[in-house]
Structure 1
């Protein structure tokens, strides 16, 4: 058999997981090996761990898992910018919290306003308009806003190794979803371009909407009322409600993903769980137990006992961002 024919047969007969092993930004080591071993197991027909393609569901948190979440959540950055843009129409905000602190550049004061202040901020900046109008506002913001540390558009501050992982899973028959505590209509305008995940495969927190007619034009009005919080125990509930299948792969980075990790890895398929640990203070940010955003404490303590892969960003990733 000549060398060309031999090489062709090797390619044709190789498992799909090997052919699609496109994880160039991952360093060789136990994290990369664990991912490839799992995908090989569930895609090898006739093997004990084989999973039919329709059951290969993978879910990913967004903030801190697919893109950065420091020095604050990107959606909070959007809220801050919206308050500044709307301030000329609301002179009373100069004496009213949390708006007073925002306009003074005092994030500590914003934090001290507590959950009530954050909820009021969200309702003010996200409601009182149609869903189409909100989508345009968000899309325009993404086109102009810049990350405070990297001075790059927010939709470029995504983790290259995780984008490779999404592609790798899809090449092996997985359907990939985002399951995030962030607002679903804040994420949907960019998830297709940023991650290859279409809007209908994005699950997130929502505010109430109401059908109405503007003249003779049907619209959905966004109301100042929380509809669903997709965080903590809300994540497995959202998965069940919107996907209808228990995933076999889950990735998160904080205690807000704890219940989702338990739900996926505690199922009959014994799914694969991974946690992104932010350990690189030079290329990104280093934080875990005491962070105001993306606190990782309980999930990290239980990772080894529950066989969750703890990915060390500094050690496991050659590159963090495509722009490096």
Structure 2
């Protein structure tokens, strides 16, 4: 009736207005705006749709929608060296005044002299000695404060950003998207559990109790005033890397993931464990291919080596996210 009494010109105007208001705001319905359109984004969205469709063949109850993510190289950058290692080396320099013997004692001498060749030659044993010296002998509360202070002042050299701003904006969006669809998101990382717990909630929306990581021995005692404290000791309790990741998931989460994302051979067993569940599962790898906006590395990198896991992903049809191709941006905006 309305169209019958409107002139042809007015009908065109009205149709245009209806069409305009029918179109959603740009990006309003896109749960992953920092991801480029393509097979990777489509695979994620398709999987979430399938496992959340009640009555569908792949439906998974919310309680079982467990998503696990590696941290280093998956949720934030890890080159040219893991950020926790940089923290530990900075702590050696800060603590050197109380340890004059370090000037002549390796591996501390190499850190104080910025002798990277010697540090590399000392390998994992030297690193563990540095970690033990800088991460123990204090209460967990004191350690947390030290880490928080470091994040507030330290800067990554190449991009001149705080380390806790070296996170991947597309992955932050993915975590939020999964939670909006009834998933519980966990970090399962080889990094130190107490180090990560200081920043993960603000950076990723993942609270401390949903962080699984490598840990040292912690001892309960009462301090001089009778206050209960936990003291960090220089002993390794659990290494949450490689085959340790499924073990950590079983111990601390208690459910097999249906969604897992990693970036290196250290994540292979977590992805295999996820792939082995009965029912739908999603296995993803971040492939670092963007040397201009981040770093490009894989099979021969001493940090974040992606070799066996890449081969298995290609063989088994897992999703390999190509950073250069799939991400519009890498890091969140920073002044």
TM-score scaled to structure 2, two decimals? 0.91
Aligned residue number for residue 266 of structure 1:
276
Q: Please say if residues 20 and 171 of structure 1, whose CA atoms lie closer than 8 Å, have aligned partners that are also in contact.
A: no
Q: Which runs of 5+ in 1 are unaligned?
A: 12-17
SS in 2 for 1:113: helix
The 2-side partners of 1:108 and 1:170 are apart by 44
Question: Which residue number in structure 2 is paired with residue 43 of structure 1?
Answer: 52
Bigger Cα Rg: 2
Contact 2:152–2:162 (Cα < 8 Å) also in 1: yes
Q: How far does residue 89 in structure 1 lie from its aligned partner after superposition?
A: 1.4
Cα distance in 2, alignment partners of residues 20 and 59 from structure 1: 25
Match of 1:219 in 2: 229
What SS is found at the alignment partner of 2:199? helix
Q: 1:315 aligns with which of 325, 328, 331?
A: 325
Within the alignment, does 1:160 sit opposite 2:153 as a pair?
no
Q: How is 1:94-113 mapped onto 2 (pairs within 5 angstroms)?
A: 94-113=103-122
1:200 aligned partner: 209
| Structure-2 change in CA distance of 1:246 and 1:20 (3 Å) | farther
2: CA distance, partners of 1:116 / 1:322: 35
In structure 2, what is the equivalent of residue 290 of structure 1? 300
Give 1:149 deviation, angstroms: 0.9
2-side partners of 1:193 and 1:269: how far apart? 33
Q: Deviations over 1:169-211 (max 9, x none)?
A: 0011100000000000000011110000000000000000111
The residue number in structure 2 matching 1:186 is 195
Q: Which residue of 2 aligns with 1:14?
A: none
* TM-score normalised per structure 1: 0.94
Q: Distance in 1 between matches of 2:93 and 2:302?
A: 23
Q: Deviations over 1:210-266 (max 9, x none)?
A: 110102111111111000000000000000000100010000000000000000011
Give the 4+ runs in structure 1 shifted more than 4 A: 18-21
Cα distance, 1:20 vs structure 2: 6.6
Match of 1:141 in 2: 150
Alignment of 1:58-73 (within 5 A): 58-73=67-82
Query: What is aligned with 1:278?
Result: 288
> In structure 1, which of residues 173, 186, 206 is the aligned counterpart of residue 182 of structure 2?
173
Structure 1 residues 98 and 220, CA, compared in 2 at 3 Å: closer, same or farther?
A: same
Q: Cα deviations across residues 148-171 of structure 1 (Å, max 9, x unaligned)? A: 111110111100000000011001
SS at match of 2:234: strand
Measured after TM superposition, the shift of residue 284 of structure 1 is 0.1
Structure 2 residue 114 is the aligned partner of structure 1 residue 117: no
Contact 2:51 2:280 in 1 (8 A): no
How far apart are the structure 2 equivalents of 1:89 and 1:155?
28
**Contact 1:142–1:153, Cα closer than 8 Å, also in 2:** yes
Q: For the Cα contact (< 8 Å) 2:264–2:304, is it kept in 1?
A: yes
Match for residue 233 of structure 1 among 240, 243, 258? 243
Gapped regions of structure 2 (runs ≥ 5): 1-14
The alignment's C-alpha RMSD in Å is 2.2
Number of equivalenced pairs: 317
Is contact 1:21–1:168 with CA below 8 Å preserved after alignment? no
What secondary structure, in the 3-state scheme, does the structure 1 residue paired with 2:317 have? coil
